[in-house]
Structure 1
Amino acid sequence: MSDENKNTEGENNAAEGGDVSLKPEIAIPESESAGAVSAEEKSAMKEEKTEKASYEIIEAADKPGSIREFKVTVPWAEYDSRMETMLKDLRKNVVIDGFRKGKAPQNLIRRRFIKEINQDILKEIVPNITEQILEKEGRKKLLDPVWDTPTIEEGKPIEVTIKVELIPAFDLAKEDYTGLSVSAQKRKITEEDINRTIDRLRWQSAVYEPKDGESVEKEDGITVNVTVADQNGNPISRLSSRERFCTNIQNTFPESVANALIGKKKGEIVEIVVPQTHKNSKGEDVTTTFNWKVEILGIKKLILPKLDDDFAKDIGNFQTLDELKTKVKEDLERHEQEHARQHALDALVEKIIERKPFDVPQTLVSYNQQGMINEDIQHWKRMGIPLELISLEKEKYIAQKQKDAEFAVKNSFILSKIIEKETIAVTDEDLNAEIAKMAESEGRKPLAIRAKLEAENKLDALKESLESKKVEQFLIDNNSVSYEEVEGDVHNHDHQKEEAHAESEQPNS
């Protein structure tokens, strides 16, 4: 079925950005035609739904991506009766040259508007037939059906191929999600980890002071005018800036530009051509060049606070540096335990998927994949890294995000199914306890926190969050989970992302 020959009851668009919920009922893009519906329209729609269209199924099959495909025939009498009704309605309102309103011959209206009439009839019949078939099969659609454009010959049955994306139909027995055994690695916190965190705290408390007559060193901050143009001399505004204060020179500029800046003095200009190679749609290497021009307006020296008891007192409620280090170690160990717990939960869900494999709708996968990519882009922007400087193998990155998104969608359906099976629910006591905890953390009254949540329509989101925590704890409690303490990076991607974020924290200038 070609894209040109597909019709839908409504075009479905995925949101371009923002946070993405993994709840199936939330992560479904809304129909473009969605909007306010009057009471009269609702009544008419309800009445129309009772008029079931006649049809006969020729073929029905499940397709990859949680798609159900039907080939059906619609009797000509069914089609013709709807055509007559539509023509009568059109005749009342259509205006054709040479005829008064409502007086144009029906055959003329039919010839003039046959294409639009056929489309409108299909928009009535196909969803109607789809609902009937799915009701008989006990299945639920995720999105509106799509169909090919059939050949319509007067007096002959109309054959239509319909595709509809379904909410996955699968079931879980108790033994599918309990009594499982998984192991997760937990990274051992070392002195090096503690010292690295302390160093970050020093950086966050650092300041930059002017230095005159000296050259740029690696850890200095510099104020610059930056102009970047493509190989044809066209300026690239997103990479260019004026009077920009830059720290962490090595991460701010391409390597060749950063190296050239080291040793330069105030007033000097660095001009470098930077080649960049990427693969085109055919997989061939293509090299483009960028012309960088950086004028140094000022240089500041990084001043880090001394690592002593006074530093610990400035950081928080600590009397000594040893107290600060103890607290840092406790926080790192708790954080690592949370990471290990999440990886154990992922391992449990993977085992459940192995036992009960099922397809998930590609619409949801694509929607969540785009959300994950947008999250990465926002992360890089917060770090102040231009996207052009991110070194990624695009195809591998996209493939990994698709894999992550598919797992996230499957995870969501599985957790929802376990919630249903175990009748897991958030009680008023659960909600009140969580609100009380939030109030204590913020130093406010529980009533004020609840009022704020209600005003911002976030109470339901809090309930969903608590429900997720409950089902996750159910899995931990009803399966065998062991943790192996190891040295070195275990959850490499997570740690790299957090460290990159920590390095993006800028000292005061």
Structure 2
Amino acid sequence: MKVQWEKQENHQGVLTVEVDEEKVKSALDAAFYKVRKQINVPGFRKGKVPRQLFEARFGVEALYQDALDILLPESYAQAVEEAGIEPVDRPDIDVEQIEKGKPLIYKATVTVKPEVELGEYKDLEIPERDFSVKDEDIDQELETMRNRYAELETVEGEAQKHDHVLIDFEGFIDGEPFEGGKSENYNLELGSGQFISGFEDQLIGVKAGEEKDVVVTFPEDYQQEKLAGKEATFKVKVHEIKRKNLPELDDEFAKDVSEFDTLQELKDDIKRKLQERKEEEEKQYKRDTVVEKAAENASVDIPQVMVEQEIDRMLQNFEQQLRMQGMNLDTYKQMMGQEEEALREQFKEQAEKRVKTSLVLEAIAKKENVEVSDEDLEEEIKRFAEMLNRDVEDVRKDLSDQGMDSLKEDIIIRKTIELLVSNSQNAA
């Protein structure tokens, strides 16, 4: 097989591939045996038509597409390896010659992975940040627990911040109702920030049975473009006001909400868990910092197709999150008044950053010869099995070659980030 690679602009290039006539003959033979099983020719049993008669009646050209289906995948993969390139999208194939007794010649236009010009990635400074556990952190956790176990009680009088109000509301812009601006028996905690700025504040002081006009202005960057920057009047009716009855912080509270007999034991446990959480936060902070700085210091011209592929993945993940909330992407777009192009544009900057970061880490891994040992892979499979709560051997059997490659890539990236952290220094 002959392979020629011609580099072009914008990270594209053309592979010219020539597959020898013997392989073409084998592919045409295989194509014939496949096709003749599916055709009926008078005078012959199904699948028994002779090759000579088939070609006389249908022409050898009838076998070309099936032969290409056999030849192209294998020859293209081999050509890519011989040319030493890394395509990032599907090739655009142009068959120049396929003929019985002659070589197959085709051109494959592809976009390839760009070269990364690495900047400084060692001795990166990590600004110091305090990750110690303070008394107020413990108090905040206790307060969260108090609120979690609080009981709501109906109250008379005026609504206060953090009260729950049961309301009906309908919004109007220029006297006309708008989509998504109406609800009945809505439970709203005042001060929770569920509604746009100013809405909840205007309900502080209302009483059950009261009706009130709440006037607000939607932010200029509001997700529903039709409402952005516009003033709206919400007609609100208050049905009920409930207030949290918070439990006392004492030993009885500790017994009710935990396995501990005293409040001090509960506080000690909270502190221990917070310290573990803070330690992990510190590690993640260091990882994020060095990765971000290494990416900022590098230069790479990213092909648009890679950005679009990343946006596709982000949209798929976003749609999965919506499904978990009982919504699909079409419903979300309708509710937000957005077309998919606008949504893709929102993801673009983050997608570009993700692609660049991935390319930079990959380039560092190659330069530093970061490799995966058998022990690394075994530990990753064990970790994966624990995460899935499955037997290690079952997970190993289920992992395809592609799955193993993906695990190895994850390990390489993780080891590369560890290398960056270990070579970094804390900024004074």
Q: TM-score range by the shorter chain?
A: 0.5 to 0.7
SS in 2 for 1:94: coil
In structure 2, the CA distance between the partners of 1:136 and 1:267, relative to structure 1 (3 Å rule), is same
Post-superposition CA distance 1:438-494 (Å, at most 9, x none)? xxxxxxxxxx97994427966899x978876655444433x242234xxxxxxxxxx
Percent of residue pairs identical: 17
CA 1:160–1:226: 2 relative to 1, 3 Å: farther
The aligned runs of 1:29-108 (5 Å cut-off) are 57=4, 60-61=6-7, 64=10, 68-71=13-16, 86=31, 90-91=35-36, 93-95=38-40, 102=49, 106=55
Of 454, 469, 493, 2:391 maps to 454
1:184 and 1:87 map into 2 onto residues whose CA distance is 65
Identify the residue that residue 154 of structure 2 maps to in structure 1.
211
User: Residue 247 of structure 1 aligns to which amino acid in structure 2?
Assistant: E
- Residue number in structure 1 paired with 2:426: 482
Letter in 2 for 1:132: Q
TM-score, length-scaled by structure 2: 0.60
For 1:252, the equivalent position in structure 2 comes to 194
Which blocks of at least 5 consecutive residues in structure 2 are unaligned?
327-331
1:195 corresponds in structure 2 to 136
Q: The residue matched to 2:7 in structure 1 has which SS? A: strand
Gaps in structure 1 of 5+ consecutive residues: 1-53, 280-284, 436-447, 485-509
Question: What amino acid is the match of 1:454?
Answer: D
- What pairs with 1:158-169 in structure 2 (closer than 5 Å)? 160-164=106-110
* Amino acid in the other structure paired with 2:126: A
AA partner of residue 399 (structure 1): K
Structure 1 CA distance for aligned equivalents of residues 417 and 278 of structure 2: 20
- Structure 2: distance between partners of 1:99 and 1:431: 58
Measured at CA, do residues 272 and 375 of structure 1 come closer, stay the same or move farther in structure 2, by a change above 3 Å?
Answer: farther
- Indicate which of 116, 119, 126 corresponds to 2:72: 126
Q: Deviations over 1:377-433 (max 9, x none)?
A: 79999xxxx99689xx9677423311332144225535754785456563699789x
Could you state the TM-score of these two structures normalised by the residue count of structure 1? 0.53
Would you say 1:334 and 2:282 are equivalent positions? Answer: no
Matched, 1:405 2:354: yes
One-letter code aligned to 2:391: E
How far off its partner does 1:247 sit?
A: 2.9
Post-superposition offset of 1:202: 0.8
1:66-465 residue pairs with structure 2 within 5 A?
68-71=13-16, 86=31, 90-91=35-36, 93-95=38-40, 102=49, 106=55, 109-110=58-59, 119-139=65-85, 145-148=91-94, 160-164=106-110, 180-188=122-130, 195=136, 198-199=139-140, 201-206=142-147, 207-224=150-167, 245-248=187-190, 250-255=192-197, 257-259=199-201, 261-267=203-209, 286-287=226-227, 296-304=238-246, 319=264, 330=275, 334=279, 337-347=282-292, 349-350=294-295, 353=298, 362=306, 365-366=310-311, 369-370=314-315, 397-410=346-359, 413-414=362-363, 417=366, 421=370, 426=375, 452-454=389-391
> What is residue 329 of structure 2 aligned with on the other side?
none
Deviates more, 1:403-412 or 1:96-105: 96-105
The letter for the 2-side match of 1:198 is: D
- Amino acid corresponding to residue 128 of structure 2 in structure 1: K
